[in-house]
Amino acid sequence: MVACVSNGGAPCIVMRRTLSMANVQHAQEIEKKERRLAPDCPIHKPQDSLLSGSRGWTNYRGLFNFCIILLILSNGRVALENLIKYGILVDPAKWVRLLLHDPGSWPPVYITFGLNFCILFSLWIEKLISAGRISDVIARNLQVVNFSLILLVPPVVVLKWNCNPLTSSLALACATILFLKLVSYHMVNHWCRQQRAELRRLKRRSSSESLFKASNGHFNLTNGHKKPVYVSYPDNLNLNDIYYFVFVPTLCYELNFPRSARIRKRFLIRRFLESLLLLQLILALAQQWLVPIMKNSLRPFQEMNFPAMLERLLKLAVPNILIWLLMFYWFFHSTLNTIAEIMKFADREFYRDWWNAETVQYFWQNWNIPVHRWCLRHLYKPLTARGMSKQLACIWQNWNIPVHRWCLRHLYKPLSARGMSKQLACIHVFLISAFFHEYL
């Protein structure tokens, strides 16, 4: 149908009425019916292939299951080949003999127990500050001395006495964790002193004390009722408080941690058994799968046979990744949940969905939440508050990338300039991946 619309002296505009969607669908149905009734029985119609992007197909579950089957078959073949070639190499008693009879196993143990001196030293410093017996400058110098002891003494002992790598790694891990915890401990107490001094300057002692306590309190569920439980500065400066913080699975200190109402015994037993079984599985895989490949990889590296070196590296990649995944679940899920349940620590977010990471930044921010929170709270926010740009503060925040490698490096030999350059290259990878994700 054609209509003529006139606007004064303007020429007529011819407008055509478009077919409605109902008419189009009706026409398509008639066409389909005619094709079905055609004598040649047509079966073709215009359509894209299923894997084409224009098709919009997203259900690939069957292909995913097929890849899982291929992965199981290929790894099963490798496991069978390993058993035929080397036999059963798993010996749990070997680890016990390695720990008990190796003379290099004991110095790291002594180091770990000696860290209690640094804990007590930190508590003593905070008590002196709260009592007004030392100034902030002297306290800061004492804290630097304490941190230097924590960071320098364990690596020196490990390198000088040629200690066992297993016990050395545990001692260095304990020293690094304690360093991060005590930094947070001193910074939070410093913030509390600043707030306390500010409230005193406002000369509203009676009202400000209740406000200060309320700001540090939390609510705990007891018998179905909300009961306020709080600790205020300097009442937190005692042995129970600092040792609870040392053993609780977090690196960020608070005066009042979220607590669970009770210990769930079934949950605790499940996580504890998981932790024991996974630890045995990790050690067994290392003995049976990883160690033989590493021994056979020495000769290609000595002869600088690059094709053989590449083949050995690819062969090491599969057990290495598998053991790494098992270690992640063992530590961040089973072990930390076991400790948190014993300590009644209610915040159980130790990791996020790092497996969905599209950038290196997202991976490092989500696979280790305690370290990420520490960096965000005690590095990123203080640096940006002092006027540093967010980009530069973000680089400082990701200092834990080379520090992880620094701890492992001290197990074997001192850190060289070449090794340090490799570790700092991790930050460049982080920046490059962030750039490509943002602009491409």
- The residues annotated as belonging to the active site are 437
DSSP per-residue string spanning 359-398: SHHHHHHHS-HHHHHHHIIIIIHHHHHTT--HHHHHHHHT
Phi first, then psi: give them for residue 351, nearest 5 degrees: -160, 160
**3-class DSSP string for 287-318:** HHHHHHHHHHCHHHHHHCCHHHHHHHHHHHHH
C-alpha 121/C-alpha 345 separation (Å) is: 25
- Could you give the 3-state DSSP secondary structure of residue 345? strand
Percentage helix, strand, coil, to 5, in the chain?
Answer: 70, 5, 25
Kindly state the tokens that stand for 385. Answer: 């508050």
* The token pair that represents 135 in the structure block: 């100034």
How far apart (Å, rounded) are the C-alpha atoms in residues 267 and 342? 11
Asked if 143 and 186 touch (Cβ cutoff 8 Å), the reply is yes
The residue type found at 65 is N
Residues 6+ apart with CB under 8 A from 187: 253, 378
What whole-number distance in Å separates Cα of residue 380 and Cα of residue 16?
A: 64
Contacts of 149 (CB under 8 A, 6+ apart): 118
Indicate the DSSP class of residue 259: B
End-to-end CA distance of the chain: 50
Encoded tokens for 255: 């005066």
Quote the radius of gyration of the chain (alpha carbons, Å).
32
Contact 152, 134 (CB under 8 A): no
φ, ψ (nearest 5 deg) of residue 298: -65, -45
Q: Which residue in 281, 250, 431 sits closest to 350, CA to CA?
A: 250
N residues, the chain: 440
- Copy the structure tokens of residue 177: 């964790």
